[in-house]
Amino acid sequence: MGSLVPAGHPGVCGMKSAARSRAAPTGRLDLYERNDMSKHYTIGVIPGDGTGPEVVAEGLKALEAAGRKHDLTFDFKRYDLGGEAYLRDGTLLPDSVIHELRGMDAIFLGAIGHPGVKPGILEREVLLKLRFELDLYINLRPVVLHPGVDTPLMGKQPEDIDFVVVRENSEGMYAGGGGFFKKGTADEVAIQESVNTRKGVERCIRYAFEYARKRNKGKHVTLCAKTNVLIFESDLWFRVFQDVAKDFPDIGTGYQHVDALCMWMIKNPEQFDVIVTGNLFGDIITDIGAIIQGGLGIAAGGNIHPGQSAMFEPIGGSAPKYTGQNKINPMAAIGSAQMLLEYLGKDKAAADIFQAIRKVLSQDLKSLEAGRMGYTTSEVGDLVARYIMA
Ligand code: IPM
Ligand code: MN
């Protein structure tokens, strides 16, 4: 690895430069090569736990409004999964549901996580199982500061915070390998394994380069890893990154260690266009991404197997303390609905949701925080729907 990363490596390494253009900051693009002639879609809906059902309702409202305007119809098939279903009769994610979801045009998920269930059960057996079983190997998480939204980063403007994290979503630390030895004794050993396959790493990195090309903004991909310590997994990521980059001479490349990248996301987020990284680092850095774009109330994401299946979800959790109060911010779910339409190749309909989100954020909402928006959850959804139809 020493030959690849210079000694005394400061954590930022420009490997190749490309013209950094400043095109319209939308983060939207059609990367999915879908049949654009379709008009009717079957969507699997998993409202889930806590405030999940409330935000999902507003996401579906936005989808329906965009559908009415653009002559698209949706058949929403609901699945009762999550903490309540588990506590009621032990249901987690039945194989029959996985089978049905495979046949859907897309899946829309609210939140999974329940205070009455031990951490790890619902996450592993519902959310992560969906990602793994459907092989949704990309977790696409845009970080966009919309006009009118406060960021905790002093002096940063919307044009400074507009990038996308491509998180590997099917392996790494999340593969779940490992075990205990001499558990519960003073000699206990706990091993947690990270699985990185050449195929898994390559398809993720290739997607990131293709995304940067189609996004056509900074035309730049930054690899985020930890080559100075993770001398096996990050070495593979680094080599594959260099190999794949050869197929994209029009795209600039950079490398940052994950710890340094966390710092640069705060200090100079304007340097990023597309960041590609493994599953655990991607999980962590996208929480920083969420907060610098205004919080979990606005952070949307998509779990995608290009051309095969995809599941869109707000990246925040189930916010149990706000359940049923009509106070939670539904914008992340509405943004996820926008991403779902992009995935379906309905760019005009998606753009209408995007513009409506921008309008509500810049004209109407007092704050992005639950209970402080100046509107209820459903009123925010109504505003978005009205602007979509206008
Ligand atoms: C996320 C979440 C999940 C993850 C949890 C709930 C398992 O934090 O989607 O970022 O770690 O991927
Ligand atoms: Mn997370």
Q: Which two tokens stand for residue 135?
A: 């092989």
Residue whose Cα lies nearest atom 4 of ligand 1: it is: 283
C-alpha 219 – ligand 1 centre gap (Å): 28
Identify the burial level of 294 via C-beta atoms within 10 angstroms of its C-beta, where 0-12 means exposed, 13-18 middle and 19 or more buried.
buried
Atom of ligand 1 nearest to the CA of 112: 6
C-alpha 14 – ligand 2 centre gap (Å): 28
Angle at 299 between CA 136 and CA 25, to 5 degrees: 95
State which of 46, 127, 140 you would mutate to test the pocket of ligand 1, scoring each by most atoms of that ligand within 8 A of its C-beta: 127
Query: Rounded to 5 degrees, what are φ and ψ at 218?
Result: -85, -15
For CA atoms 47, 51, 54, 57, give the dihedral sign.
negative
Architecture of 33-142+294-390 per CATH? 3-Layer(aba) Sandwich (3.40)
Residue whose Cα lies nearest atom 5 of ligand 1: it is: 123
The per-residue pLDDT of the chain, averaged, comes to 92
Helix axes 198-215, 233-245, angle to 10 degrees: 40
Residue whose Cα lies nearest atom 12 of ligand 1: it is: 283
* CA–CA separation, 356 and 10 (whole Å): 42
CB atoms within 10 A of CB 360: 24
pLDDT in tens, 293-322: 999 999 999 999 999 999 999 998 899 999
Ligand (nearest to CA of 176): 1
pLDDT score of 24: 34
pLDDT score of 31: 53
Can you give the pTM of this predicted structure? 0.91
User: In terms of DSSP bridges, do strands 300-305 and 309-314 run parallel, antiparallel, or are they unpaired?
Assistant: antiparallel
* CA–CA separation, 309 and 108 (whole Å): 11
pLDDT score of 316: 87
Ligand (nearest to CA of 130): 1
Name the stretches of the chain with pLDDT < 70.
Answer: 1-36
For CA atoms 50, 170, 212, 237, give the dihedral sign.
positive
* DSSP one-letter code for 217: S
pLDDT score of 8: 36
The answer to whether residues 251 and 211 touch, using CB atoms and an 8 Å cutoff, is no
Residue whose Cα lies nearest atom 9 of ligand 1: it is: 315
Residue whose Cα lies nearest atom 6 of ligand 1: it is: 123
Q: Is 306 left (phi over 0), alpha (psi -120 to 50) or beta?
A: beta
C-alpha 316 – ligand 2 centre gap (Å): 8
C-alpha 283 – ligand 1 centre gap (Å): 6
Domain 1-30+151-165+194-293 belongs in CATH node 3.40.718.10: yes
| Helices marked H in the chain | 52-70, 83-89, 95-102, 121-122, 128-133, 198-215, 233-245, 258-267, 279-292, 331-343, 347-359, 377-389
Residue whose Cα lies nearest atom 10 of ligand 1: it is: 283
DSSP for 166-187 reads EEE-SSBGGG--EEEESTTSTT
Q: For ligand 1, which residues put their CB under 6 angstroms from it?
A: 123, 127-128, 283, 315
State which of 118, 283, 304 you would mutate to test the pocket of ligand 1, scoring each by most atoms of that ligand within 8 A of its C-beta: 283
Instruction: Give residue limits of the domains in the chain.
Output: 1-30+151-165+194-293, 33-142+294-390
The answer to whether residues 19 and 219 touch, using CB atoms and an 8 Å cutoff, is yes
What is the torsion angle, in degrees rounded to the nearest 10, for the CA atoms of residue 154, residue 264, residue 368 and residue 62? 140
Q: Do domains 1-30+151-165+194-293 and 33-142+294-390 have the same CATH topology?
A: yes
Atom of ligand 1 nearest to the CA of 286: 10
C-alpha 198 – ligand 1 centre gap (Å): 23
pLDDT score of 205: 98
The answer to whether residues 385 and 62 touch, using CB atoms and an 8 Å cutoff, is yes
The answer to whether residues 350 and 66 touch, using CB atoms and an 8 Å cutoff, is yes
What percent of the chain lies above the pLDDT cut of 90?
90
* CA–CA separation, 314 and 296 (whole Å): 8
* CA–CA separation, 289 and 162 (whole Å): 10
